[in-house]
Amino acid sequence: MPGLVSRALERFSTDNRDAAELRDDAARSGCCHIVDAAPREKVVIHGVLRSVTQRCADDVTTLEAELYDGSDSVTLVWLGRRRITGVAAGRSLTARGRIGTKAGRKVLFNPVYELDA
């Protein structure tokens, strides 16, 4: 199960990054914290990608990424995408969109995003 091990290591590496530092990065970027985002609210959020996964369900391919900002996490979902250049675990990015919920978790469908350098 190399995929499972590598995902666990990626999550461990981002978990070790100081949560307070991530919250400060989001605030400096002028973004709201994920924990404060209410359902159906338009948000601009900033954080680190913990994982990136391709899923296929009901003939729809999606690319899903977990974005963590030190306060909470949100799943970014791009419908119809298999991969996006630069979107990888460990990268920092800013995402814009409307917060929703899916299976009790916060989610942003087809967010507009900017990768950090």
| Distance from C-alpha of 33 to C-alpha of 37, rounded to nearest angstrom | 7
CA atoms within 13 A on the CB side of 113: 25
pLDDT at 57: 78
Q: Would the pLDDT of 98 be above 60?
A: yes
| Domain assignments of the chain as residue spans, ordered by start | 2-115
Beta pairing, strands 73-79 & 105-109: parallel
Query: For residue range 6-18, what is the model confidence (pLDDT) as tens digits?
Result: 555 455 544 555 8
Q: Residue 90 — pLDDT band, cuts 50, 70, 90?
A: very high
CATH code of the domain made up of 2-115 = 2.40.50.140
Q: Residue 19 — pLDDT band, cuts 50, 70, 90?
A: confident
